[in-house]
């Protein structure tokens, strides 16, 4: 899966939790929860949805590493087959 495909999947799932998200307004280097105003429960639901859709294990110990859109895409890129 390419970086662009991963980003598309991430953004599609994010929109199910925060429909007001505008892709063009997101900064890949700024904390995603701050940009989209997600509380901790929404964030957890989002990470679980990523796991379910992409079939990627995201251990709880890695949650702190997944802060920005860029972090998420890079993390998933490493975990998914090419």
Stretches where the chain sits below pLDDT 70 are: 82
Going from the C-alpha of 44 to that of each of 27, 62, 79, 81, 82, the distances in angstroms are 21, 12, 19, 24, 26
pLDDT at 10 (0 to 100): 95
CATH superfamily of 3-18+28-79: ACP-like (1.10.1200.10)
pLDDT at 74 (0 to 100): 96
Residue 28 makes CB contacts below 8 A (sequence gap 6+) with 68, 69, 70, 73
pLDDT at 24 (0 to 100): 87
pLDDT digits (tens, 9 = 90+) for 61-78: 999 999 999 999 999 999
pTM of the model: 0.88
**Structure-token pair, residue 27:** 């900064």
């Amino acid at each position: 899966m390419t970086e662009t495909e991963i980003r598309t999947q991430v953004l599609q799932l994010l929109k199910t939790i925060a429909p007001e998200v505008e892709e063009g307004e997101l900064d890949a280097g700024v904390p995603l929860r701050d940009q989209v105003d997600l509380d901790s429960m929404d964030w957890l639901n989002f990470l679980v949805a990523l796991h379910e859709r992409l079939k990627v294990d995201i251990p709880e110990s890695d949650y702190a590493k997944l802060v920005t859109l860029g972090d998420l895409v890079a993390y998933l890129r490493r975990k998914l087959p090419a």
